[in-house]
Amino acid sequence: MPEVEIFIQDMAAIMLVAGVVTVLFNRFKQPVVLGYIVAGIILGPYTPPFKLIKDEHTIHILSELGVIFLLFSLGLEFSLKKLSKVGATGMLVAAAEISLMFWVGYEIGTFFGWKTMDAIFLGAMLAVSSTTIIVKALSELGMKQEKFAQLIFGILIIEDILAIGMIALLSGIATSGSVSMGEVGSTIGRLLLFMIVALVLGILIVPRLLAYVGKFKNKEVFLVTVLGLCFGFCLLVMKLNYSVALGAFIIGAVMAESRHLHQIERLIEPIRDMFSAVFFVTIGLLVNPHVLAEYWLPILVITVAVVLGKVISCGLATFLSGHSGRTSMRVGMGLAQIGEFSFIIAALGVSLKVTSDFLYPTVVAVSVITTLLTPYLIRLADPLSRKMADVMPNKLSSVFNLYTNWLEHLQPHGDRAAISKIIRRILLQVIVNLALVAAIFIAGGYFAESLGHSMAGWIADRQMQTAIVWGGALLLSLPCLIAVYRKLQALSMIVAEMAVQPERAGAYTEKVRKVIAEVIPAVSIIGIMFLIVVLSSRILPPMNLLIFVLIAVAAVAFLLWQKFVRLHSRLQIALFETLDEQPDEKH
Amino acid sequence: MPEVEIFIQDMAAIMLVAGVVTVLFNRFKQPVVLGYIVAGIILGPYTPPFKLIKDEHTIHILSELGVIFLLFSLGLEFSLKKLSKVGATGMLVAAAEISLMFWVGYEIGTFFGWKTMDAIFLGAMLAVSSTTIIVKALSELGMKQEKFAQLIFGILIIEDILAIGMIALLSGIATSGSVSMGEVGSTIGRLLLFMIVALVLGILIVPRLLAYVGKFKNKEVFLVTVLGLCFGFCLLVMKLNYSVALGAFIIGAVMAESRHLHQIERLIEPIRDMFSAVFFVTIGLLVNPHVLAEYWLPILVITVAVVLGKVISCGLATFLSGHSGRTSMRVGMGLAQIGEFSFIIAALGVSLKVTSDFLYPTVVAVSVITTLLTPYLIRLADPLSRKMADVMPNKLSSVFNLYTNWLEHLQPHGDRAAISKIIRRILLQVIVNLALVAAIFIAGGYFAESLGHSMAGWIADRQMQTAIVWGGALLLSLPCLIAVYRKLQALSMIVAEMAVQPERAGAYTEKVRKVIAEVIPAVSIIGIMFLIVVLSSRILPPMNLLIFVLIAVAAVAFLLWQKFVRLHSRLQIALFETLDEQPDEKH
């Protein structure tokens, strides 16, 4: 039989079985995702009648498209604005959940005597809750608009980002085989740097490009452009040794800032649904029911650990960040399951060949059970929190009340709140600009060799070449550096104003303030220069050339100061415009 | 590099290059399809910088999805109602165009001394015009709603059906290597039979199934159901040794009768656009520019032949079926190109390994040139028809007028028109019912062996087994046979009424009419029984059993006559209801 026919036959088998099973699951109000997994188990080699998929190779390649489009869609739903709203609570809950669950998962793996890598991957798989399942459960319970649901969605966004970081880390650990804290730190640092730079440049370029293509009013050209950007960025990310999932998520988040967001969502949705079906079915393909019978004890233990661990960590963290007991219980119960990210991490382990065969079906089983439990847990939240309030000793509940009041008191109010908001904003801008500078110098170091080669024709001296590359990088980062300097000046004036009060400094007030306002930027600039030297150590020219380059760049900076300021502020305005723009109405 | 990464890289290359090229093509108001082909040529191995696609195998499998979704969409736009409106004109024009162009193509191939199979495939590739290109050109010229455009769309539907038949024929010819008229006839006969049965059963089942699934209001489940039906039917068609293209078209035509048509179209559109992009790019991949330079003469000759041949055959046939000179010229000019079907046929030749390497790029080149010409030709139609009217000798134009009047006179009017409509309707119903009967007996013959095996447990005698299978088939077809008998009775009464006029038959009028009304159905039933015997010759039981089965079935028919009549009319009503139902509004 020719290969194309085998492929059609496989697709027909997948879609027919998935269609029948999901219709049945939908009829009995169970999540579609579970239907796909069951369809996969039926199609797989371990269940009668027989192996119904002939060309697993091609199907697995297609399932990779499922991962890409799933994460691309997740990125489309991501928004920097939503993220800033949930802010502290989201960070705290996500961090608490992920660190506790990672530790619990690792300990369970070690307890059962599994390989270290299995234990690490188990920890990672338990760490993150499932957006798909939660959205589905909440919308079926009609609770999607409630406050705790909005909180859950915010937490999920942060979890997604951390999960993507975890995927990057796991790939590194799995290939190098070791876990050093320094390496973890530098991986996370480089990842954050990459994400900031990609988001800033992406939001500057992509929405404008899409607006241009959107003007043609040709759906087909628009779709191909979106797909070109998506796959192109995934390729770039892959070449930088990050996972395709990360790329798809970031480019999705960038496109989320486009005016054409709803159009993109409408076009991508059917493609995502088609390939995510293939992806979830291939998960089922790998599930061996015999393994489940053999590993019933770990499955049970992990399930209990997931439910208890997530309810406790998420619930407690929500409460500690100042929400009511009822909301906290609802958030904890809502997040008590694992889902698609666990599958992606499991698939990563299989494709890197570092995890054992039993881990995949075990985790799928836990996901299936916790998914089925989710709607019941959410419904259980209110009665349970009432019950807990009833049985709680009065003393304990007054301690809780005290805590809530103290937290309320901690929040800045009035003028202080306004100032702290300004300071946060300035610090954020400084960080973003520094990230851009760092990216320019890292890229300079990366491309120094090939840039040198292309210059070899007219500049033979290697040292001259590196001096030119280094000077070029410095010149490119000048607008950002100048912006950083100006922001820090503003910041130090605010700090001076706040720190030096006339009541205490008396007649010296103005002078001390001035000193502070001058010293902070100067010291910071020296620190930044030191950072640059460290980052660009590979391409740093020798001292005599360095001084020459520095003088030249300083001269340029002096002459074109106003031009650079204007250029930077124009780019910044463009960025904020794109961020503030509302997507077109759905139509 | 792992295979998944190669795949992502290939997809990125395709979508990036296709994106850039199509944006440019759209900017300069050229068809997107041309952009894809150019992107393919850039990506292909024959042009600098180098071969950008690494895993051609997977990409070719994906391009098959492009063919499936292209034809599925075409099927969705097909409608039996539209078909019946264009009727005779469409048939005449399509038949004239296809037969002339097939002959011209074959002759050109022979003239250049190419292999017989190359000449045959060239003929097939020139036969059919391109729906995509025409729709695009007409909508850009703002002429989509005009009368001649509606006529063109009708012609294209009939052409598509004939083209799909041609694909089935070509596969047969290419694998058997010979062309016998008997085989062509039997292939077309079986194909028509299959299409009628698939459409009738499909329209009875599929829209109801989709209505059921549509009630869940779950887009994902609905999409998976649609894809399951699409791929499942393609698989069935493939198992019957027809092309996947045929399957996708028929199941699309069946779904076109669903109330959810617009929803299906919206869901399938992005998937089709994604994979048709891959399909058209893979066409470009195979184009070697050196071959184009070498074969410039055939390309030129074929291009001229396509334009002149199609303008003349379509224009003349339109005129002969009673349209004005202006409309005829516009129709002819509109249809003067080749497109996606030519590519599908070319790909068929390549995959069956029966055509030479140069044929593919040659036809692509002709398609590119004729596509570029299409809008200019349409704009040229009106001036040209005015010019022709001016220079035409008076005598000739009066002959044309006479012809138009004569044709007008030929059309039945008043009572005769109503009666001829009724007769046509009855004949159509008889044909459809006979097709169902034929399908039941053919399927009986096909499955006789396996049915016999499964009966072997309790009936050992082979002859008894075939007798049961044959009797079962007869029983199953009883409702259709009874319906045919009743329709033929009605028909013969009308015929008797019309043929025997009292002025001529006098006192015998009633008697003669009665004889005619009795004889026609009786004779027809004998003819039908003879047909059944021929069709089921493989499973016909021996005489003694045959007589026994016939008596038993006759008894059943006698006892359950009214039940069968009601069952059949209920099915018929269900069918017409589905056909008459309007799809839901777009929303």
User: Nearest by CB to A274, which of B20, B235, B271?
Assistant: B271
CB contact under 8 Å between B227 and A61, yes or no, is no
Residue B1: pLDDT band with limits 50, 70, 90: low
Asked if A61 lies within 8 A of B7 by C-beta distance, the reply is yes
> Which pLDDT value is given to residue B178?
65
Q: Which of A267-276, A389-398, A487-496, B428-437 has the lowest mean pLDDT?
A: A389-398
Quick check: A244 and B219 CB within 8 A? no
> What tokens appear for A52 in the block?
């119904």
Of residues A575 and A227, more confidence is placed in A227
Q: What percent of chain B has pLDDT over 90?
A: 22
Over residues B310-320, the pLDDT tens digits come to 999 999 999 88
Would you say B348 and B171 are in contact if contact means Cβ atoms under 8 Å apart?
yes
Confidence of residue B107 (pLDDT cuts 50, 70, 90): very high
Long-range pairs, B579-587, Cβ under 8 A, ≥24 = B579/B80, B579/B81, B579/B203, B579/B257, B581/B207, B581/B257, B581/B259, B582/B259, B583/B258, B583/B259, B583/B260, B583/B261, B583/B262, B584/B259, B584/B260, B584/B261, B584/B262, B584/B263, B585/B262, B586/B262, B586/B266, B587/B262
**At residue B428, does pLDDT exceed 70?**
yes
Structure letter (DSSP) for residue A586: P
| Predicted confidence (pLDDT) at residue B48 exceeds the cutoff of 70 | no
In angstroms, rounded to a whole number, what is the distance separating the alpha carbons of residues A119 and A141?
A: 35
pLDDT at B448 over 80: no
Within its chain, how far is the Cα of A413 from the centroid? 31
Alpha-carbon gap: A353 to the closest alpha carbon of chain B (Å): 13
> Nearest C-alpha of chain A: how many angstroms from B242?
12
- Cα–chain center distance at B475: 31
Picking from A12, A18, A213, the nearest residue to B235 by CB comes out as A12
Domain ranges of chain A: 3-58, 59-381, 417-580
Contact between residue B105 and residue B304 where contact means Cβ atoms under 8 Å apart: no
For chain B, the C-alpha Rg in angstroms (whole number) is 27
**What residues in A contact B260, CB-CB < 8 Å?**
none
Which of B8, B21, B56, B587 is the mutation pick for testing A, counting most A CBs within 10 A? Answer: B8
For A2, name the nearest residue in chain B, comparing CA atoms only: B351
Chain A residues touching B277 at Cβ < 8 A: 220, 224, 227
CB-closest option in A9, A227, A244 to B8? A244
Q: Tell me if the bond preceding B375 is cis, omega within 30° of 0.
A: no
Work out the average pLDDT over A232-250: 86
Residue B224's alpha-carbon distances to B72, B136, B427, B505, in angstroms, are: 15, 30, 39, 65
pLDDT tens by residue, A429-469 = 888 888 888 888 888 877 777 777 777 777 777 778 888 88
- Residue B472: pLDDT band (50, 70, 90) is confident
Query: Does residue A477 register a pLDDT over 70?
Result: yes
Distance from CA of B245 to the nearest CA of A (A): 12
Which one is predicted more confidently, A300 or B391?
Answer: A300
Q: Which residue of B has its CA nearest to A235?
A: B9
Kindly report the nearest CA distance between residue B2 and chain A, in angstroms. 10
Closest CA to A264 of A210, A301, A209, A344: A210
Higher pLDDT, B131 or B180: B131
Q: Encoding tokens for residue A419?
A: 């100032």
Most confident of A41-45, A347-351, B266-270: B266-270
Closest CA to B356 of B568, B120, B130: B120
Q: Is the pLDDT of residue A104 over 90?
A: yes
Mean pLDDT confidence for B491-505: 80
Note if the bond before A31 is cis, omega within 30 degrees. no
A274, B223 in Cβ contact below 8 A? yes
* CA distance linking residue A104 with residue A101, whole number of Å: 5
pLDDT at A50: 66
CA A210 to chain centre: 23
pLDDT of residue A48: 67
- Structure confidence at residue A586 (pLDDT): 55
Chain B residue with minimum CA distance to A265: B270
Average pLDDT for residues A362-388, to the nearest whole number? 88
- Determine, for residues A268 and B269 on separate chains, whether the beta-carbon distance falls below 8 Å: no
* A269: closest chain B residue by CA: B267
Query: Which residues, in sequence order, are CB contacts of B109 under 8 Å at separation 6+?
Result: B118, B119, B120, B122, B123
Would you put residue A27 in left (φ > 0), alpha (ψ -120 to 50) or beta? alpha
Question: Where is pLDDT greater, at B537 or B359?
Answer: B359
Least Cα distance to B38 among B63, B69, B14 occurs for: B14
pLDDT in tens, A44-55: 887 766 667 788
Contacts for B256 with CB less than 8 Å, ≥ 6 apart: B75, B76, B77, B78, B79
Per-residue pLDDT tens digits for A171-193: 777 777 666 677 777 777 887 88
Q: What does the buried/exposed string (b/e) look like for B371-410 if buried means 16 or more CB atoms within 10 Å of the residue's CB? A: bebbbebbebbeebbeeeeeeeeeeeeeeeeeebeeeeee
CB burial of A355-377 (b: ≥16 within 10 Å; e: otherwise) equals beebbbbbbbbbbbbbbebbbeb
Q: Do B15 and A274 touch (CB under 8 A)?
A: no
Distance (Å, whole) CA B129 – CA B139: 17
DSSP letter at A507?
G
Q: How far is B54 from chain A (nearest CA, A)?
A: 14
User: Is the torsion defined by CA of A208, A210, A212, A214 positive or negative?
Assistant: negative
Q: Which residues contact A113 (CB under 8 A, 6 or more apart)?
A: none
- Give the relative orientation of helices B359-391 and B261-285 as an angle to the nearest 10 degrees: 110
Residues of A in contact with B224 (CB under 8 A): 15, 18-19, 22, 273-274, 277
The model's confidence at residue B49, banded by pLDDT at 50, 70 and 90, is: low
Residue of chain A whose alpha carbon sits nearest to that of B65: A8
- Any idea which of A153-162, A454-463, B421-430 has the lowest mean pLDDT? A454-463
The pLDDT score that the predictor gives to residue A587 is 47
Greatest distance between any 2 Cα atoms in chain B: 94
Residue B584 backbone zone (phi > 0: left; psi -120 to 50: alpha; other: beta): beta
Identity of the residue in B4, B19, B225 whose CB atom sits nearest the CB atom of A23: B225
B39 and B26 in contact (C-beta within 8 Å)?
no
* Among the ranges given (B280-284, B537-541, B572-576), the one the predictor scored with the smallest mean pLDDT: B537-541
User: What mean pLDDT, rounded, does chain B reach?
Assistant: 85
Q: What is the mean pLDDT of chain A?
A: 84
Contact between B41 and B287 (Cβ < 8 Å): yes
**Distance between CA B200 and CA B211 in Å, rounded?**
17
**Taking CA atoms, what residue in A is nearest to B140?**
A218
Chain A residue closest to B218 (CA)? A26
CATH class of B59-381: mainly alpha
Is the peptide bond preceding residue A383 cis, with omega within 30 degrees of 0? Answer: no
In chain B, residues with a C-beta closer than 8 Å to the C-beta of A17 are: 228
Q: Which of A138-142, A533-537, B265-269, B536-540 has the highest mean pLDDT?
A: B265-269
- Please say whether the beta carbons of A134 and A147 come within 8 A: no
Q: Where does the pLDDT of residue A335 fall: very low under 50, low under 70, confident under 90, or very high at 90 and above?
A: very high
A 10 A CB-CB count for A496 gives 20
> Span A396-400, mean pLDDT?
78
Cβ neighbours of B9 in A, within 8 Å:
235, 238
Planar angle of CA B103, B106, B110, nearest 5 degrees:
135
Dihedral angle, C-alpha B302, B304, B309, B315, nearest 10 °? 150
Q: Check: CB of residue B262 under 8 Å from CB of residue A36.
A: no
Contact B224 A11 (CB under 8 A): no
Our CA-based measurement puts residue B346 at a distance from the nearest CA of chain A, in whole angstroms, of 16
* Cα nearest neighbour of B2 on chain A: A351
Residue A486 corresponds to which tokens in the numbers above? 């100006």
Average pLDDT over residues A223-244: 89
From B518's Cα to the closest Cα of chain A, the distance in A is 50
Cα angle B395, B310, B166 (rounded to 5 degrees) comes to 135
Q: What is the mean pLDDT of residues A499-525?
A: 80
Higher pLDDT residue, B199 or A78? B199
Query: What integer is the mean pLDDT of B165-172?
Result: 79
Instruction: Dig out the tokens for B480 from the structure.
Output: 């259709």
